[in-house]
Amino acid sequence: MDLIIILQAGVATGTVLLFATIGEIFAERAGILNLGLEGMMLIGAMAAMKTVVATGNPWLGVLVAMLVAGLLSQIHALITIQFQADQVVSGLALTFLGAGLSLVFGEGLSKAGAMSLLPRYTVPLLSRMPVLGPILFIDQSVMVYLGYALIPLSWYYINRTRPGLHLRAIGEFPAAADVLGINVYALRYFYVFIGGLLAGLAGATISLAVSPGWFSELTTSGQGWIAIGLVIFAQWNPIRAAFGSYIFGALRRLILDIQGPAMLLGLANPFYYNPYLGFFLQMIPYAFTIAVLIIGSREALRKRFGSPAALGIPFIRGERGI
Amino acid sequence: MKSSEATKSTRRNGLIPFRIELETRMEQPRWLGAAVSLGAMIFALFLGGVILSMAGGNPIRAYSYMLKAAFGSWGVFSDTLVKATPLILTGLACAVAFSMRLWNIGAEGQFYVGAFGASAVVLAPLIPLDSPAWLMILTMVAVGTLAGAAWGFVPGFLKARYNVNEIISSLMMNYIAVAWNNFFIFAVWSEGGFQMSPKFPKTAWLPRLTDYVEKIPAFRGLTAHLGLVFGLVMAGIIWWVLYRSKWGYEIRLIGDNPRAAEYSGINIKRNIVLVMMLSGGLAGLAGVSEISGVVHRLQGAISPGYGFTGIIIAWLAKLNPILVVPVSVLFGGLILAGREIQPSGVPKLIQGIILVCLIASDFLLRYRVSIVRRSWES
């Protein structure tokens, strides 16, 4: 059990959550809660895998995964934006639909043999940094680096640019944004689509980089839901989202590694001698999500910081309301 | 004509000679809800067929096979009822929570701990194994229901106390429940190293129709069990609670208008915890019924997603506890017949499409959609 290795793998695992969480932040900042994250990630993971099996090109796999998940997200957009249906139920429906579609079209995919994965790189200079170098920059998948770039870019986009201002406006006070000539409907479609693209990217990152392969619903194993929890913890801020995602990634890796050594901190390792205790370790990420939610909502209460004001509320042009 | 404020969506290009006009409905005809839901179902099955043929299947053969495999004879219909039994209970669990707009997505986990609680009565054992059957079953029902209620209590309490989003917390509890059960299946109650507990004694089995074959020969092989009666009775009770009792009125008022409920002095936080426990208890009872009516031992994979299907059932039944019963029978048939259909994800896919179509169709209940010729507009 080497701490550096755990953190290194944790960053890679956390990249999946990072993409999904930032995607959901975009959608929720625009006022649309999309609980279908798990379904979109599943279909992304399946589509990426299937494309690579068929063509052998992982980049094409990533592209297809993003497009397919983005397309799926538009069903949610249509139902919630155009038809003004309940966003919670529609999101759940999307989860079912995504899972069903990926199971049907992914039939037999788990038996697929060797395939080409996304490349891994070591960054020449940065990797020589003490501690941080090996954790962040040695032999990481290209997706991990894409994740590093996404964090500041999305933060800057949301908080410092004009389109980002519009994004925040349609999530906080769509009626006012509408008066200013912002097309609330079109932008909401757009940001739900962005959320879908990133969820597809997260799915492709699982099946082509982090834990390659297709294991039906176990491929995502609830990470989409964890990401939705992380959005609340992150207070809709990409930088906090990155922090949470990497911690979760490291935690998942730690749980795998802790069962390895016979001795732990000079004591007999109970998880080594009784592997069944591993079932309790499996609970930790989910219990931790609940803990994170408690921390997040307590903090929100104290800082008087809440979700985007119009989150979950359909915008009907010309009607009273926010 | 019921038109007061007309929302118009006009396309200003002259290419299409029609435009779609939306009009808010002031009142709905009584038949409309049922008609739209039915239409959505049919449309969903059609859509499912299209996707199925895209994935390389034959939808017509698949559907006709499913119909026969689920409703073709008394024998298979009895099996359909067996599948419908836990669905009725999880459907009720979701319906009662959703009536308060409390999103309990954790019925699956509550089902698992309900099954665990019932098994613990036999396997721990909590009462002597030579107890009479009625006492055994009563204890299993009580412990399993309480276990489910305890599992529901956690997200309810967290929501009431810390305003934690119950969707995510109840869902996380599902994964914890499955791991918890697995620990006991693998490590504690494992029989000879297999991943299952020993079989329960006959006193812990819910009576089935086939058990009465000496008196009524027609019951030979019919596996429908007492759990179905639990489901039907609970449907009646929950209907009464929701639509005839003061508590049910409070629940529905909170669901419709939480602010009005708060001003009228209803304790919302207390109701959040109580309704979540009621919902969890119902899902737990589903677990009891399945474990002692069908499986007769604790093992993994006891549910093909009964808790999640309950969500769809509750929504399709418009949160009406009585309607939950026939809808569950329909979905029981879908799950039963779907087991043998390739590819294996078909039932899940069809459930997803049905829910999507159903939600989208609600639009037709709120708006009157008419297609108007453009020529006489300007």
Please give the pLDDT value at position A321: 56
With contacts defined as CB-CB under 8 Å, which chain B residues touch A287?
A: 172, 176
Q: Which residue has the higher pLDDT, B33 or A178?
A: A178
Selecting from B55, B164, B355 the residue whose C-beta is nearest the C-beta of A93 gives B355
Q: What is the pLDDT of residue B4?
A: 39
Tens of pLDDT, residue by residue over B268-290, are: 999 999 999 999 999 999 999 99
The pLDDT of residue A320: 59
pLDDT of residue B2: 39
Has residue B203 been placed in a domain?
yes
Q: Do B359 and A294 touch (CB under 8 A)?
A: no
Give residue A128's pLDDT.
86
Q: What is the reported pLDDT for B378?
A: 47
Residue by residue, what is the 3-state secondary structure of B236-276?
Answer: HHHHHHHHHCHHHHHHHHHHHCHHHHHHCCCCHHHHHHHHH
* DSSP helix/strand/coil, B369: strand
| Cα gap A132→A154, rounded to integer Å | 23
Count the domains in chain B: 1
In a domain, B1, yes or no: no
Cβ within 8 Å, pair A107-B342: yes
Q: Quote the Cα angle for A23-A25-A29, to 5°.
A: 125
**Would you state the pLDDT for residue B19?**
74
Domain that holds residue A270: 3-122+129-303
Average pLDDT over residues B131-140: 94
> Does the beta-carbon distance from B356 to A94 stay under 8 Å?
yes
Q: Hey, CA dihedral for B93, B99, B100, B105, is it positive or negative?
A: positive
Q: How far apart are CA B64 and CA B49, in angstroms?
A: 12
Q: What is the mean pLDDT of residues B18-45?
A: 82
Q: Chain A residues with CB inside 8 Å of B43's CB?
A: none
Residue-level pLDDT at A154: 97
pLDDT value at position A113?
67
Tell whether B358 is covered by a domain: no
- Chain A hits for B171, CB-CB cut-off 8 Å, are 222, 225
Each residue of B147-159: pLDDT tens digit?
999 999 999 999 9
B356 and A103 within 8 Å at the Cβ level: the answer is no
Is there a contact between A93 and B167 if contact means CB atoms under 8 Å apart?
Answer: no
CA distance B375 to chain A (A): 26
pLDDT confidence tier of residue B329, bands split at 50, 70 and 90: very high
Contacts of A228 in chain B (CB under 8 A): 167-168
Contact across the interface for A96 and B352, Cβ inside 8 Å: yes
Distance CA A96, CA B351 (A): 7
Q: What is the CATH number of the domain that holds B286?
A: 1.10.3470
- Residue A154 sits in a domain whose CATH number is 1.10.3470
Contact A37, A224 (CB under 8 A): yes
Q: Identify the closest residue of chain B to A287 by CA–CA distance.
A: B172
Reduce the DSSP state of residue A249 to 3 states and report it.
helix
For residue B98, tell me if it sits in a domain.
Answer: yes
pLDDT value, residue A114: 62
List chain A residues with CB under 8 Å of B350.
Answer: 100
Residue A309 included in any domain: no
- Which of A100, A225, A316 comes nearest B348 by C-beta? A100
Domain membership flag for residue B45: no
The answer as to whether A56 is a domain residue is yes
Q: In sequence order, what are the beta bridge partners of B372?
A: B19
Task: Indicate the SS3 state at residue A33.
Answer: coil
Q: What angle do CA A216, A221, A225 make, to 5 degrees?
A: 125
pLDDT of B310 above 90? yes
pLDDT at B374: 65
With respect to residue A75, please indicate whether it lies within any of the assigned structural domains.
yes
Q: What is the residue type of B215?
A: K
Please report residues of A whose CB lies closer than 8 A to that of B311.
92
H/E stretch holding A255 reads helix A238-257
Range(s) of the domain holding residue B334: 58-342
How far is A93 from chain B, CA to nearest CA, in Å?
5
Within-domain flag for B13 = no
CB B227 within 8 A of CB B78: no
- Would you state the pLDDT for residue B375? 59
Q: How far is B9 from chain A (nearest CA, A)?
A: 11
Establish if B84 belongs to a structural domain.
Answer: yes
Q: Reduced to 3 states, what is the DSSP secondary structure of residue B371? A: strand
Q: How far is B137 from chain A (nearest CA, A)?
A: 29
At A160 the pLDDT is 96
Distance between B172 CA and the closest CA of chain A, angstroms: 5
Cα separation, A280 vs A31, in Å, equals 37
The answer to whether the Cβ–Cβ distance between A96 and B55 falls below 8 Å is no
**pLDDT of the residue at B15:** 64
Stretch B170-195: mean pLDDT, rounded? 92
The arithmetic mean of pLDDT across residues B361-376, rounded, is 76
| Domain total of chain A | 1
E-only strand ranges, chain A? 120-121, 140-141, 263-264, 267-268
Collect all residues with Cβ–Cβ distance below 8 Å to A80 and sequence separation of at least 6: A32, A86, A87, A90, A314
In chain A, what is the greatest distance between 2 CA atoms, to the nearest angstrom?
69
Q: What tokens were used for A255?
A: 């749980």
Band (pLDDT 50/70/90 cuts) for residue B291 is very high
Question: In this structure, is residue A320 part of a structural domain?
Answer: no
Name the residue among A97, A293, A297 with its Cβ closest to that of B352: A97
Look at residue B1 in the predicted model and tell me its pLDDT.
35
Q: Tell me whether residues B311 and A92 touch, CB distance under 8 A.
A: yes
pLDDT averaged over chain B? 89
B376 lies in a domain?
A: no
pLDDT digit string, tens, across residues B233-270: 999 999 999 999 999 999 999 999 999 999 999 999 99
Q: Which residue of A has its CA nearest to B314?
A: A89
Taking the C-alpha atoms of residue B14 and residue B28, their distance in angstroms, rounded to an integer, is: 33
Distance CA B171, CA B173 (A): 5
> Along the 322 residues of chain A, how does pLDDT read in single tens digits?
678 888 999 999 999 999 999 999 999 999 999 999 999 999 999 999 999 999 989 999 999 999 999 999 999 999 999 888 889 989 989 999 999 999 989 888 888 766 778 889 888 888 888 888 888 998 899 999 999 999 999 999 999 999 999 999 999 999 999 999 999 999 999 999 999 999 999 999 999 998 888 888 888 889 999 999 999 889 899 999 999 999 999 998 888 888 877 777 777 888 888 888 889 999 999 999 999 999 888 887 777 777 888 888 888 887 755 5
- Residue B13 predicted with pLDDT over 70: no
